[in-house]
Amino acid sequence: MEKLRIVLPLALVIVYTGLILLASRYVKTNSVVTFSQNGYLNFQFNYQLLLLAVTLLSLLSTYFLNKQNFVSYFSFGTISAPAQEMKWFGIKANDSWTKTGISLSLVISLATALFMYFQLKQVQVNWLSLKGAAIWIILFSLSNSFGEEMIYRLGIISPLKGLFSPFYIYTISAILFGLPHLAGMPSGFIGATMAGVLGWVLAKSVFETNGFFWAWFIHFIQDVIIITGLFLISFKTE
């Protein structure tokens, strides 16, 4: 029975990952609805609709796998809870997650921005094209970050708490979140590694604050940077 409690949530996350990848592939050539003449905005709108459906499935399965833990984690949590030491990010024991979350947001966002900067260097960027798209980029970033946090953080931490040590739960979340980024953005080994490190940190934040505020917030900022960059690239190539 305990093996099933371990295998089932992991299998479900893998299934949801497969559905997300299929959704991404499908909306590259098909539209559920026609949203915009801009190909990238149209892709994102349709992709986010399908991601929302997968997210709802994930939330339902996570709830039924462990109702008590789900209720505990499905909230913003204690935003200023004390953090455990994380030397490689310069976080000291008992630093508040308010301080930790802000510092992590800055450090991780800088790394993401540098990566996207080198992508944008290859095209002539028209910043004015963001004028009509900024609000949609923010909404897509909110949706995408929320969906992925519900699947790869809540969907793993909630059912596995008490079955593994926190370190192993963070690592599982990092691996399952990082691997799909081999074909994502950032892509390849570097992209998967960056996503894996981010997933590990975000899982730690959920576990220690008993909520998803910092995970969603940090993830949201990364998505704003990435989606903005991809929009600028796509706008130029249309």
Q: pLDDT for 96-121, tens place per residue?
A: 999 999 999 999 999 889 888 887 87
Identify the weakest region by mean pLDDT among 93-102, 157-166, 181-190.
181-190
Residue whose tokens read 């339902």? 60
CA dist., res. 201 & res. 178, Å (int): 12
pLDDT band at 238 (very low <50, low <70, confident <90, very high): very low
Question: Helices (DSSP H) in the chain: which residue ranges?
Answer: 2-27, 39-65, 67-73, 97-120, 134-149, 155-160, 166-178, 188-209, 213-237
What integer is the mean pLDDT of 203-231? 95
pLDDT at 177: 93
Q: What percent of the chain has pLDDT over 90?
A: 63
CA dist., res. 151 & res. 153, Å (int): 6
CA dist., res. 83 & res. 97, Å (int): 6
CA dist., res. 27 & res. 8, Å (int): 28
CB 173 within 8 A of CB 77: no
